[in-house]
Amino acid sequence: MKRFYTLYLTLFLFGTLLNAQDLVSVTYKGSRTKAQMVADYGFFMQYGIDRYKFQYTTLDVHGNLDTASGLFVLPRVDAANLPLLVYQHGTVGSKEEVPSNLSGGYELAEVYGAMGYATVAPDYLGLGDARGFHPYLHAATEASAAIDMLYAARQYLENDPDFEDNGKLFIMGYSQGGHASAALHRELEANYAAEWPVTAAAHMSGPYRLSGTIQEFANNEEPYSTPGYVPNMILGLNEAYQLFTDLAQIFREPYLSPIRDFYNNDIDLWNLNQTLIDLLTTEQGAAIPKYMLQDSVRMALATNPNHPINLALADNDVYDWAPQAPTRLYYCTADEQVPYTNSVFADSVMNANGAPDVISIDVNPTASHTECVEPAVTSAIFFFLPLQGLMVSSEEVAALKPVQVYPNPASHTIWVEGLQAGDVLQLLSPTGQLLERRRSGGNLEEWPLQGYTPGVYWMQVLGNKGVSVQKVVVE
């Protein structure tokens, strides 16, 4: 199969200046075999992958042309009609800690590539090769950077005869990426529905209600494990809204100096966060974010909804709309970084707005923000799987032999036949939540249905040659 290891496209096409949405360069970033992916991420990885760094044009927060970067992951198959997936990464510590540098959560882009998606993972503005300070949690450019990378991916696939997209588009993101994926989803359905119809979306543990978050930080006395997120959020929005001209207008010493060092790229976000924890603990007895702010700012944020920072935060809320594609909001109640109430609140507003299929799901009530990643991403994989529509032509990746599930519909027991010893069986709810898992001992497995309410469920069988999905109707 032909591979483009380094492809440089001319910056001028037929004498016309480059516009937003053009692919500038593609740089090969290495391959991983299916065996390597299985060893790292589990036996349900279906393909090896090839990784590429994209440079592409997009507009910055001021509407000026910029060159952004991102990671593009392709399954290693000989010919395929591939679904596209956009992975929006979580908060990173520096410009260099990004997917295109095989950092900053790039592993999730690999996982989805190995599940059969042509995966687009933008670095975001101000990160990777894009200039300036990252406009953290700025919804408009989180969306536009991803959309322009989608166009770049389509341009790349059009020049590779081995691949084409199958018209299906999936969106997912975790933490900041949950905010960014919701922003992208909203923008696509509002303004790109004909060209980029969304098949399904999974937004995970995201701060969808920024305006409520800052109100909590400005008012309460609760310690917070990541106080560095607060200046990062205010500094990022200042890039777009020009809220202040000097950091001293917002932050007070001794916190101002390390925040200024972070803004000047002298320290990364994680160093800033630890420094702020230490300073706040020394000065206030605990890492309580509100004490970083000038008293006048803190008071204004708490009492004045028309304060410029409050208005900027409200402008970047991403919950008040009605997704039309099937959408899941995965979260963990014990999340200490992004309150789970963001997901529950977004669910309630989206459904009140008339969304046809939006459900928030607590995938692990006791998991921390970091621990929540695995169950959330796993739930998203299985939510997307029946909708994927992947078609390949390759002897190397033969699908799992279809299993038989009978009787179907059933009321007391089903039998699953056609298994191999070691296959994993999973029963999922209609919303994609894992209900029960077991490992097969041989060809035939009995599965009692006592305790399951009538309705539609999904039986998934995961083996070393593929994944089989069957609908199960419980009467």
User: In one letter, which amino acid is 205?
Assistant: S
User: CA 380 to CA 200: how far, in whole Å?
Assistant: 10
Structure tokens at 97: 């800690």
> pLDDT value at position 293?
95
Residue 167, domain member (yes or no): yes
421-432 confidence digits (pLDDT tens): 888 888 877 666
Please report, for the domain that includes residue 412, its CATH number.
2.60.40.3080
Residue with tokens 């919804």: 139
Domain end, chosen from 248, 281, 315, is at 315
Q: What percent of the chain has pLDDT over 70?
A: 91
For residue 20, pLDDT over 80 is answered with no
Same domain for 23 and 144: yes
Same domain for 91 and 225: no
Same domain for 90 and 175: yes
Same domain for 112 and 196: yes
Half-sphere exposure of 244 (CA within 13 A, CB side): 16
Structure tokens at 126: 């101000």
DSSP letters, 376-417, are HHHHHHHHHGGG---EE--GGGPPPPPPEEESSSBSSEEEEE
pLDDT-derived band at 216 (thresholds 50, 70, 90) equals: confident
> pLDDT value at position 399?
44
Q: Which domain holds residue 451?
A: 398-474
Same domain for 98 and 246: no
> Average pLDDT, whole number, for the chain?
89
217-240 confidence digits (pLDDT tens): 777 889 999 999 999 999 999 999
Q: Bridge-partner residues for 428, per DSSP?
A: 434, 458
Which residues are CB-neighbours of 5 under 8 A, at least 6 positions away? 27, 28
Least Cα distance to 64 among 19, 30, 23 occurs for 19
Domain end, chosen from 373, 391, 409, is at 391
Q: Bridge-partner residues for 472, per DSSP?
A: 457
Same domain for 341 and 372: yes
User: CA 206 to CA 313: how far, in whole Å?
Assistant: 14
> pLDDT value at position 4?
35
380-414 confidence digits (pLDDT tens): 988 898 788 655 443 333 344 567 899 999 999 99
Please, are residues 143 and 20 in contact by the beta-carbon 8 Å criterion? no
For the segment 25-39, the average pLDDT, to the nearest whole number, is 95
Give the total number of structural domains in the chain: 3
> pLDDT value at position 277?
98
Residue 1, domain member (yes or no): no
Q: Give the pTM.
A: 0.85
Residue 246, domain member (yes or no): yes
Same domain for 74 and 10: yes
> pLDDT value at position 393?
42
User: In one letter, which amino acid is 48?
Assistant: G
Same domain for 69 and 144: yes
Same domain for 124 and 53: yes
SS3 276: helix
User: CA 146 to CA 329: how far, in whole Å?
Assistant: 20
Same domain for 187 and 55: yes
Same domain for 167 and 236: no
214 phi and psi, to 5 degrees? -70, -30
Cα–Cα distances (Å) from 187 to 233, 273, 324, in that order, read 21, 32, 12
58-114 confidence digits (pLDDT tens): 999 999 999 999 999 999 987 678 899 999 999 999 999 999 999 999 999 999 999
For the segment 134-157, the average pLDDT, to the nearest whole number, is 97
Domain end, chosen from 279, 294, 315, is at 315
Same domain for 30 and 177: yes
Residue 59, domain member (yes or no): yes
Residue 115, domain member (yes or no): yes
